Homo-oligomer: A and B are copies of this chain.
């Protein structure tokens, strides 16, 4: 019986000391071959400047959105709030490797341990902070699965601000605990499309049964933000500054992988807007773009909303109501409404402009899987590693399992040289699935 054997002492995970945590965010724009395309104004279709965004974002966020600096300092107050839950652990997935019978070494960075259950808090905190600093009293936002909504609710609660969340209706119904959690943190939550905005009312008039989309919810939140002086809008993914904030993930992971004595050959992250993929991958891609390392980075998305794998690379609006800037990205069209897949956080018609450009330029890759495939991967992961992944994160899990299965242990591996070829795989487990248990139940 295996359990009775004397195991060698294996290091299961690496944490970092508070003083080892990143003091800066990493901006990949500084290292990209080509500078990103400018944003266009939604009405005039002319390039926009900082002043055009000031109705919805605070100045410092706009500066970060447009910055070309490689490193941007993290304010001490934000570092302090990060320290309440960071570092996050980097695990070696020994038990998953054993179940798969693979020679690959699999590592994962787990971002679901904080109170809101996902990586979204990494950008919610600085966004709330910069708004507060500039006198904003209330933040409006949209949320898909509710991970972002929970995170911004908690961040505004930490900084004594108000919060109003438009939650895609299909997720609002599938994930009732998410609304309750946001309410505990004092936020107001509306299923979107709602009767609370002009765009919501218009949408419902045209289709009373509309189950919503991120594009619609964004329009509703932006509409409310532009109406008041002391209210601004916050976005949980897609934009440059959001991806920037998430680079604390990859920076920590680099140091943790070093402590494990390894470096990834391939990195996986699930991809909706793109922020968790960017968070884990960008700090490593710096090494690739600077010619220091070879590595692959794979963004994994749902077959039901396949912007990177099947969308067009072109200018498009970020929302359905055409209120947000036009940006160049892979898109399924701003009026695309995906089917009711459980991975509500990945139901976005477009993708981050930075992630899109890197895909277009061949720096990164993309894959897509069906809902059935990712739920089965999630179960396998839960039963080996003991953490139930969010449906969103399960896309990355599925990508990793596929990759690892290419390197199954076989007789004669040593002779054929297969042994050395087994890759080091790293992925971001962006959140837990404990609020998604009804979805798992339905798959039984």
Contact = CB atoms under 8 A, between A and B. Distances in A.
A151 to B, nearest CB: 10
A434 B181 contact: yes
How many subunits of this chain does the assembly comprise?
2
Given A437-B177, A438-B180, A115 B386 contact: yes
A80 interface: yes
Contacts of A437: 177, 180-181, 184
B132 A3 contact: yes
A444 interface: yes
Chain A interface extent, by class: 35 or more
Given A84-B386, A440-B180, A11 B18 contact: yes
B386 A76 contact: no
B9 A386 contact: no
Interface in A393-444: 432, 434-435, 437-438, 440-441, 444
Among A132, A177, A444, max chain B CB count under 10 A is at: A177
Nearest to A113: B113
Interface string A312-355: 00000000000000000000000000000000000000000000
B177 A434 contact: yes
Nearest to A440: B184
Given A77-B3, A177-B177, A184-B382, A388 B115 contact: yes
A179 to B, nearest CB: 9
A147 to B, nearest CB: 13
B185 A382 contact: yes
Interface string A209-234: 00000000000000000000000000
A205 interface: no
Interface in A148-199: 154, 157-159, 177, 180-181, 183-186
Given A133-B4, A184-B440, A157 B386 contact: yes
A177 to B, nearest CB: 5
A13 B83 contact: yes
Contact of A184 (B84, B95, B181, B388): B388
A54 interface: no
A6 interface: yes
A364 interface: no
